[in-house]
Amino acid sequence: MKKTTHFFLTTVAFLFSTVIMAQSTVTGTVIDAELNSPLPGANIVEKGTSNGISSDFDGNFTLTTGASSGEVVITYVGYSSITISFNGNTNLGTIKLAPDNSLDEIVITGTGVIDLAEDRNTPIAVSTIKAAEIQEKAGNWDLPEVLKSTPSVQNIKGGGFGDGSMFLRGFDQTNTAFMLNGQPINSPEDGRMFWSNWAGVLDVANAVQIQRGLGASKLAISSVGGTVNIVTKTVDRKEGGFLQQMIGNDNYTKTNIYYSTGLMENGWAFSGMFGHWQGDGYVDYTDGQGQTYFLSFGYKPNENNLFNFLITGAPQWHAAAGRGDIEDFLDNGRRYNSWNFDGVDSPNLLNGGKYPGGRNVYHKPVANLSWDWNINENSSLSTVLYGSLGRGTFAFTIDDDNDIPLYARGSNNNHNWYGLVSNFETQLNENLSLNFGADVRLYNGIHFRSVNEFLSVTSVEGDNDTNDNINVLTETFGGINPWDLTFNTNDDHTQRFGYDYEEQINYGGVFGQLEYSNDNFSAFFQGSVSTQSHVRTEFKEVQVAGQSEESEKVNNPGFNTKAGGAYTINQDHKVFVNVGYYSRQPFHSVLFVSDRNSNELVEPEIENEKITGLEAGYQFKSDKVSANVNAYYTIWDNRTDLQTEGNQGDNDFRLFQTQGVKQAHLGVELEVFTRPMDNLKVNGFLSVGDWTYDGDGLRRTFDEAGNEIESAATVNLDGVKIGGGAQLTAGLFADYEFLPRFSVDGTWNTYSNLYSQGAATVEEPSIELPAYDTVDVGLSYKWLLGKNDKNSLQFRVNINNVFDEVYIESLNENNPLSTDPTQNYKGVNIANQGRFGYGRTWNFSMRYNF
């Protein structure tokens, strides 16, 4: 008995000691990767068991495991999970969790081509908006509205769907480079952006990064204001999708469905989105509708290669809004649209006798094929081949002397656009990296006028005023359906009138970057050289099909260089400075005397623009607060400026082309991000600029048909304020989670030192518009569903301009104050032409994530 008891006690002691030896203690601290603030309530679970614990208020945890080695899984709602190994008693130290929409969690195809700021150690002036924020705030708006809460951005909504625009550091969007997964999407002809063609891109965006000024882009692009990188979903890590329904003011509705297989075991991945939207528009007679589609096919045959094919498009039509005199808006309300025919009774007219003056009808699908090749642990090659076949028209209603609509005259703008971007990247040693590549673009633009729709007549007999001597047209082409325009390109020159020309723009460039970095210091040098050629083909005699005349070929070499350095004072403080110089080729649209009916080159010859940029910055990070301060000075010399006054189709429409313009943009920007409490975020920004013209310019004036009506004359621009974007902007954003996954947020924006965009001179300077501010609010709730809360149902309400602020959004004339006080409004002559901003708007959405 004594021996049995001894044996039993010995066995128990051995087993107990074995269990004790098999246990381990794992400790650590869980923090937010962006703000370096603690994450209380994070879940730490021993992998493969139910053994777990939560972090305390300071993010600390101590977990006693059931084994001497293994893995722990750390999760937190709204953040990506992380799995860490342990062996024995282990202190994991500080564990940083990134939001689940972090760029670190995105599989980016074409990664060597997409120039994101976090790919470079040397900082720049940058703001990144991630998927969760885009999803909440985009609503039924375009990208410029989402970017308005970043420094030095002015958003102009415009009149109709997709007609918005933005200014960055005082430069309009023709001089800001917009990139979609590494592919340039600005028009090669004039740099313009048409947001209606990208209506669905925000629904599949993983992130949007706005790089102000010199930016991180290595490509042979020539942005002045900055670069906006839109990174969409391509190959998702996990299977899933969503179904979303949105409604909004003025009968707006949008339905989207998205599904992704994730990266499957066989290496394939598929994702697709389809959507439909329609609405009446905030401005009168600006109804519209369209579809959006996005298809992505990925294949990862092994760890070193990733292929992806993507196609996206947004076929749509929307009625446009013309500008009006301020007096017209005061008399008729800010929803007033000068482009409409009201009360006409005819069975051939749409909308019960109400027909918009102008209608945009476009479909410009984009496809690209990318290949990412990890050659070895130090080197990689990324290549993107892309193409776009764009078709569309601006159908403008032509009326008779009694204001009866006759037909819709289409100003057709088609293109065939192909390109290739490739970048090789290698780590030369521990401190030095090198990349270089090529950027090639081939663009064919096709422009002509034709009848797109008969309204109250069945044929059109031309005359000098509207059709430039065409005989009789008895056929219609295209109509107002974007799908029809896609497959019916009206190649018959005898059915075209007014103008009929094409241009071929070929671009080729090489680029490179060398970057050095160690623990405290980093520096980079970037450079590119490029050449661009232009040929314009004019079809002079439309009655003789195919007869044409080519212009002289224009070849323009260009280059740019950028360099910078940064010094890390300690883990909380960093400073940097960047400098750059561009010799940028002029846009095709300014090379010829008229951009519509002449092959004659401008004299004196348009030479390259010269851009010099200097910027410096300071970055601060702590547990609760982070801040960025940037100062910039940009000189833009020898540019050719295009400005318009009046509405297309009006006799008083004028296009002003001013050559040899010099601009100086000086400013300071501040961004602050704080988390005073675990469930409260408060962010803010302030940007102050001083943007003026410097010296003289040579100005020509054209009418609506492209005829030069005033000879070139020197105009004095010295000291005139640059219009379009507010030179002082500020904003404040707060988000408070008052219950789990139930939050309210609000945004306040203010704009002042905003000037008109008319063709100003010292004698007739730009006009300062009244300052204004807007307040937006939102409410979000996320209801977790399914096994392990894998699925969710999200609700979101947005109310924009809550207090219904009445403000002038833009002016394109410079009439000074009237001596009659009744002819002025808030310091602006009511004879000036422009547009008021939107009043209170709203949208509500439900989104099921699975």
Spatial CA neighbour of 119 closest among 425, 374, 519, 440: 425
Its CATH architecture, for the domain 240-849, is Beta Barrel (2.40)
Q: Assign 195 to helix, strand or coil.
A: helix
What ranges do the domains of the chain cover? 2-97, 240-849
Q: Assign 463 a pLDDT band (cuts: 50, 70, 90).
A: very low
Which amino acid belongs to residue 64?
Answer: T
Give the pLDDT score at 475.
64
Give the pLDDT score at 2.
53
Cβ–Cβ under 8 Å, residues 827 and 770: yes
Give the pLDDT score at 702.
80
Q: 262-313, pLDDT tens digit by residue?
A: 889 999 999 999 999 999 999 998 999 999 999 999 999 998 999 999 999 9
Query: For 336-378, where are the E strands, in sequence order?
Result: 340-341, 355-356, 358-363, 366-374
- Give the helix ranges, DSSP H, for 226-383: 326-332
Q: Assign 779 a pLDDT band (cuts: 50, 70, 90).
A: very high
Q: Which of 456-460, 523-527, 574-578 has the lowest mean pLDDT?
A: 456-460
Q: 535-582, pLDDT tens digit by residue?
A: 999 886 554 555 778 889 999 999 999 999 999 998 889 999 999 999
Checking if the pLDDT of 242 tops 80, the result is yes
Give the pLDDT score at 78.
58
Strands 754-755 and 768-769: antiparallel
**How large is the average pLDDT for residues 610-637?**
92
**How large is the average pLDDT for residues 805-825?**
93
Q: Assign 469 a pLDDT band (cuts: 50, 70, 90).
A: very low
Alpha-carbon distances, residue 104 vs 227, 258, 625 (angstroms): 21, 22, 22
Which amino acid belongs to residue 507?
Answer: Y
Cβ–Cβ under 8 Å, residues 647 and 323: yes
CA distance 74 to 755: 52
Q: What residues have CB less than 8 Å from 41, skipping those under 6 apart?
A: 54, 55, 76
Give the pLDDT score at 472.
52
Q: Assign 347 a pLDDT band (cuts: 50, 70, 90).
A: very low
Give the pLDDT score at 497.
79
Give the pLDDT score at 798.
96
User: Cα Rg for the chain, rounded, in angstroms?
Assistant: 30
Q: Which of 165-174, 226-235, 346-355, 659-668 has the lowest mean pLDDT?
A: 346-355
Of 562 and 339, more confident: 562
Checking if the pLDDT of 17 tops 70, the result is no
- Show the tokens assigned to 251: 């009968």
Strands 742-752 and 754-755: unpaired
Checking if the pLDDT of 84 tops 50, the result is yes
Give the pLDDT score at 456.
76
pTM of the model: 0.84
Spatial CA neighbour of 749 closest among 130, 144, 131: 144
Q: 621-630, pLDDT tens digit by residue?
A: 887 889 999 9
3-state helix, strand and coil shares in percent for the chain, rounded to the nearest 5: 10, 55, 35
CA distance 787 to 793: 14
Q: Assign 375 a pLDDT band (cuts: 50, 70, 90).
A: very high
Give the pLDDT score at 643.
76
Q: 49-65, pLDDT tens digit by residue?
A: 878 888 887 789 999 98
C-alpha torsion 797→802→804→806, nearest 10: -110
Of 543 and 522, more confident: 522
Query: For 455-491, where are the E strands, in sequence order?
Result: 460-461, 472-473
CA distance 580 to 217: 12
Place of tokens 């009138």: 497
CA distance 8 to 20: 18
Query: Domain 2-97 carries which CATH code?
Result: 2.60.40.10
CA distance 354 to 361: 18
